[in-house]
């Protein structure tokens, strides 16, 4: 019995020791530094320009199929994950609500994300986000939504636009959501811009731009591209030269900035129409871009002056990121390959799919790598590429995704500023930062907070000619606050500010056009005209419209002088027409009285066409609507054809020719059916104009989503809308034409169609 008692006491003592040891162990573990699991990703197959290196900022398993990203005010990455896109060769499951918007966190502050959390889930193919107005704006076709943010959770969901991405295939839907200097949000693949004022959302028409991705330079010009033109853009600030509703002045908009669309991959390339002669070279390397997207004008402060405002472009089909150098000469902008026959970044990893680029709050550049094997959407996927994907097992590359950081070797990383915690004066100070991301976000926050304490500080910055970029931001911040004073603009016009500042001043000044202000403005404008500065003259011509409404007698002579100075330059003449909105007939009378109108000169043609459109009430932005009998054809056209040819069939420069009265529409119906069924490669002639198009119109014959009846409906709509009549075609004829295939097995050329007698 004594033994049993002693044993029992020993057990109790041992138990107490065990408990104490467990408590001590837990305490020791709790005091240790937390370990953060960060996946290791090899970048050995990547080659980047000398002087730079790549870092993995985020990777799987924290993200999958990223297509866009943005930063919050703390500098954290928010990523759009399009998980449903082409998970298999048949594209099955793309309607599943598995898309998410997630927040990346770097808990140990080493520059690599070690945690992620979902902000929004159950989304179908989400495509864009933007941190604006203290919340998150995001696109989930067909809708554009806005939510407030509290403790990293969405609140107060608001439908901004139910037709943001009305129709269209996933490759041809609006995206971008970029807050601009003018306090409006712009998009690619869209003719609309958005803004929230006093809690209410506004939607306005603007020029149609690009396909996937939109960016801007320090001055405020917009840049974008199409799949076959690596960089396009506007020569001027948005909404400056196209204000006349009766004339579509495109001479300064949607310009092809890169003459050369060459791409230099490191390995044989699998692309959708690789079987077409000239798409691949003798070594099966891609010759020209076919999926250009995600352009970025670098405005960071970490790469040095040589790279400032360089234009970077993604070419995911070739697994490269391109670099172009921008050149500004008077009103013309152009871009050329930075290093001959060499890409900024290239990889032999066919899973590397750079689809978007971002300036970062740390001054570096970030690459959104979707890291997906299948790049082409099922709607346009050819049998050729499907076989290529299967042969290389690219369809097995799913469940992955990366954000890569591009870093200059000699530059130490910069701390990320939490702009949310900055005072009003500190935010105003950031408007002069060399880091474009910080400037832009500071302006947004100042406008959103509406702090009137900033007004005097902003006015001081606006008038300080030592920093032109800060002046421009200050002007638009004051305008966004509703505190921009006419007197401030007057002082600027007579100052020694740089031309770019004066251009912005002229754009803003037009909002103050009135008889009382005209007296003081006229001598200022006269002084600017005497400078004989080509870029400044363009903005004077473009912004006198409001003043012409006040006094044609005093404004017409100024317009006349500048018009004659650039008599054969279509950009300047179209800018004049933009300013003449509402007084076109009066200006023609003025010219007759001056006896200066030369028959069939540049201005006379543009002016006469505008007056004719006005008399027939043919506004440029009025979308052509179908008769009831053509409703089905109209829906198909709007969803699939208009994205390249324009909603009114006006064509898109570098992408597709116009349809209005085109011989392809008004000519042989069989020829039109063959083009729709089997596709067409450029160059092509339309109305006597040669269109050298790098891209290829895909045929619909191999797409089970389109029936013979659908093709008939499209033809019926095209005939009734873009030509004078319809010759008709029946379903049986279309069915037979499915077997009349191009000899190459690919798409038709113009010559081959003509040889067929169509």
636-689 pLDDT, tens digit per residue, is 887 778 767 877 787 876 678 888 878 888 888 988 999 898 888 878 888 888
Output the CA torsion 573→575→580→582 (10° steps): 120
pLDDT mean over 420-426? 96
pLDDT tens-digit series, residues 473-515:
999 999 999 999 999 999 999 999 999 999 999 999 999 999 9
Q: Is the pLDDT of residue 702 over 90?
A: no
pLDDT mean over 33-56? 85
pLDDT tens-digit series, residues 549-566:
999 999 999 999 999 999
**CATH top class, domain 628-755:** mainly alpha
pLDDT mean over 422-430? 97
**Burial class for 108, CB neighbours closer than 10 Å (0-12, 13-18, 19+):** middle
Q: What is the 3-state secondary structure (H, E, C) of 606-642?
A: HHHHHHHHHHCCCCCCCCCCCCHHHHHHHHHHHHHHH
Q: Give percent of the chain with pLDDT exceeding 90.
A: 66
pLDDT band at 32 (very low <50, low <70, confident <90, very high): very low
Q: Pick the most confident of 189-193, 477-481, 743-747.
A: 477-481
What per-residue confidence (pLDDT) applies to 33?
Answer: 43
**Omega of the bond prior to 142 within 30 degrees of 0, cis?**
yes
- Length of the chain equals 758
Q: How does strand 320-329 pair with strand 354-359?
A: unpaired
Q: Is the pLDDT of residue 705 over 80?
A: no
Q: Is the pLDDT of residue 2 over 60?
A: no
What per-residue confidence (pLDDT) applies to 295?
Answer: 98
Contact (CB, 8 A) for 301 and 433: yes
Q: Looking at 46-60, 66-80, 247-261, which range is the least confident one?
A: 247-261
What per-residue confidence (pLDDT) applies to 443?
Answer: 98
The token pair that represents 222 in the structure block:
């917009």
pLDDT band at 26 (very low <50, low <70, confident <90, very high): very low
What per-residue confidence (pLDDT) applies to 88?
Answer: 94
What per-residue confidence (pLDDT) applies to 658?
Answer: 87
What per-residue confidence (pLDDT) applies to 649?
Answer: 82
The token pair that represents 398 in the structure block:
């799913």
Q: Is the pLDDT of residue 625 over 70?
A: no
Q: How does strand 402-408 pair with strand 679-681?
A: unpaired
Q: In Å, what is the CA distance from 296 to each residue of 328, 392, 479, 484?
A: 17, 31, 26, 30
- In the chain, count H helices and then E strands: 22, 31
What per-residue confidence (pLDDT) applies to 620?
Answer: 63
pLDDT band at 216 (very low <50, low <70, confident <90, very high): very high
The token pair that represents 294 in the structure block:
């995600």
Phi-psi category of residue 439: left, alpha or beta, with phi > 0 → left and psi -120 to 50 → alpha: alpha
* Residue 318 host element (H or E): none
Q: Looking at 477-481, 590-594, 697-701, 749-753, which range is the least confident one?
A: 697-701
Check: CATH 2.120.10.30 for 49-408? yes
Q: What is the CATH number of domain 424-615?
A: 1.25.10
Q: Is the pLDDT of residue 273 over 90?
A: no
Query: Which of the 8 DSSP states describes residue 277?
Result: T
What per-residue confidence (pLDDT) applies to 73?
Answer: 96
Q: What is the mean pLDDT of the chain?
A: 89
**Omega of the bond prior to 61 within 30 degrees of 0, cis?**
yes
**Domain chopping of the chain, boundaries:** 49-408, 424-615, 628-755
Q: Compute the distance between CA of residue 356 and CA of residue 63 in angstroms, rounded to an integer.
A: 15
SS3 of residue 679 by DSSP? strand
Strands (E), 472-600: none
pLDDT mean over 417-446? 96
Q: Looking at 311-320, 522-531, 622-631, 736-745, which range is the least confident one?
A: 622-631
Query: Which of the 8 DSSP states describes residue 352?
Result: -
What per-residue confidence (pLDDT) applies to 623?
Answer: 56
pLDDT mean over 150-172? 91
pLDDT mean over 8-16? 43
pLDDT top residue among 25 and 456: 456
Q: Is the pLDDT of residue 7 over 70?
A: no
List, as own/partner pairs, every contact residues 556-563 make where C-beta atoms lie below 8 angstroms and the sequence separation is at least 24, other chains included: 556/586, 556/587, 556/590, 558/525, 558/526, 558/529, 559/587, 560/590, 560/591, 560/594, 560/596, 561/529, 562/529, 562/537, 563/603
Upper half-sphere CA count for residue 190 (Cβ side, 13 Å): 28
pLDDT band at 1 (very low <50, low <70, confident <90, very high): very low
Contact (CB, 8 A) for 275 and 355: no
């Amino acid at each position: 019995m004594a033994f049993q008692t002693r044993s029992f006491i020993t057990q109790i003592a041992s138990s107490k020791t065990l408990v104490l040891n467990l408590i001590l162990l837990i305490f020791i573990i709790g005091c240790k530094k937390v370990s953060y699991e960060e996946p290791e990703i090899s970048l050995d197959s990547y080659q980047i320009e000398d002087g730079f290196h790549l870092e993995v900022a985020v990777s799987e398993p924290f993200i999958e199929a990223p297509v866009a990203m943005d930063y919050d005010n703390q500098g954290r990455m928010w990523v759009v994950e399009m998980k449903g896109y082409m998970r298999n060769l048949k594209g099955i499951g793309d309607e599943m609500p598995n898309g998410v918007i997630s927040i990346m966190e770097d808990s140990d502050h080493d520059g690599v994300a070690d945690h992620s959390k979902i902000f929004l889930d159950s989304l179908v193919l989400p495509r864009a986000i933007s941190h604006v107005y203290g919340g998150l704006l995001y696109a989930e076709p067909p809708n554009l939504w806005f939510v407030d943010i509290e403790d990293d959770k969405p609140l107060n969901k608001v439908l901004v636009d139910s037709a943001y991405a009305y129709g269209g295939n996933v490759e041809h839907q609006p995206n971008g959501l970029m807050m601009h200097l003018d306090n409006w949000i712009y998009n690619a693949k869209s003719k609309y811009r958005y803004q929230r004022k006093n809690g209410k959302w506004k939607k306005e028409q603007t020029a149609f731009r690009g396909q996937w991705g939109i960016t801007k330079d320090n001055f405020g010009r917009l840049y974008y591209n199409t799949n076959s033109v690596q960089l396009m853009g506007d020569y001027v600030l948005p909404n400056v030269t196209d204000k006349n509703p009766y004339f579509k002045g495109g001479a300064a908009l949607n310009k092809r900035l890169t003459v050369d669309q060459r791409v230099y991959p490191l390995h044989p390339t699998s692309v959708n129409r690789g079987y077409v002669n000239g798409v691949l070279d003798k070594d099966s390397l891609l010759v020209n871009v076919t999926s250009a997207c995600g352009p970025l004008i670098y405005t960071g402060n970490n790469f040095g002056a040589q790279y400032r405002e360089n234009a970077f472009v993604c070419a995911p089909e070739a697994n490269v990121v391109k670099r172009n150098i921008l050149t500004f000469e008077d009103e013309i902008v152009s871009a050329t390959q930075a290093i001959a026959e060499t890409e900024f970044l290239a990889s032999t990893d066919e899973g590397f799919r750079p689809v978007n680029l971002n300036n970062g709050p740390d001054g570096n550049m970030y690459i959104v790598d979707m890291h997906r094997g299948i790049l082409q959407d099922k709607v346009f996927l050819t049998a050729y590429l499907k076989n290529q994907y299967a042969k290389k097992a690219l369809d097995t590359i799913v469940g992955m995704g990366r954000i890569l950081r591009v870093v200059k070797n000699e530059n130490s990383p910069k701390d990320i500023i939490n702009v949310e915690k900055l005072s009003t004066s500190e935010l105003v100070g950031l408007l002069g930062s060399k880091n474009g991301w910080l400037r832009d976000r500071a302006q947004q926050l100042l406008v959103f907070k509406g702090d009137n304490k900033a007004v005097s500080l902003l006015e001081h910055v606006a008038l300080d000619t030592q920093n032109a970029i800060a002046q421009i931001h200050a002007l638009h911040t004051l305008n966004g606050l509703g505190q921009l004073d006419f007197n401030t603009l007057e002082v600027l016009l007579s100052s020694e500010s740089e031309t770019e500042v004066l251009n912005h001043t002229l754009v803003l000044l037009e909002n103050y056009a009135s008889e009382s202000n005209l007296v003081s403005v006229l001598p200022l404008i006269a002084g600017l005209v005497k400078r004989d500065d080509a870029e400044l003259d363009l903005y004077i011509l473009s912004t006198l419209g409001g003043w012409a409404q006040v006094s044609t007698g005093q404004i017409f002579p100024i317009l006349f002088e500048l018009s004659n100075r650039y008599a054969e330059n279509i950009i300047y003449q179209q800018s004049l027409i933009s300013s003449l909105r509402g007084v076109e007939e009066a200006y023609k009378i003025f010219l007759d009285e001056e006896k200066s109108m030369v028959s069939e000169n540049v201005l006379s043609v543009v002016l006469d066409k505008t007056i004719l459109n006005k008399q027939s009430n043919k506004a440029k932005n009025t979308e052509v609507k179908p008769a009831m009998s053509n409703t089905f054809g109209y829906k198909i056209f709007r969803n699939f054809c208009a994205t390249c040819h324009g909603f009114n069939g006006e064509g898109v420069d570098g992408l597709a020719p116009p349809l209005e009265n085109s011989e392809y529409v008004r000519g042989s119906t069989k020829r039109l059916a063959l083009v729709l069924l089997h596709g067409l490669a450029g160059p092509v002639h339309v109305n006597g104009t040669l269109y050298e198009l790098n891209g290829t119109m895909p045929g619909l014959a191999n797409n089970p989503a389109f029936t013979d009846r659908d093709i008939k409906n499209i033809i019926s709509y095209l005939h009734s809308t873009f030509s004078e009549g319809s010759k008709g075609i029946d379903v049986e004829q279309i069915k037979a034409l499915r077997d009349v295939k191009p000899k190459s097995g690919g798409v038709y050329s113009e010559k081959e169609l003509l040889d067929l007698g169509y």
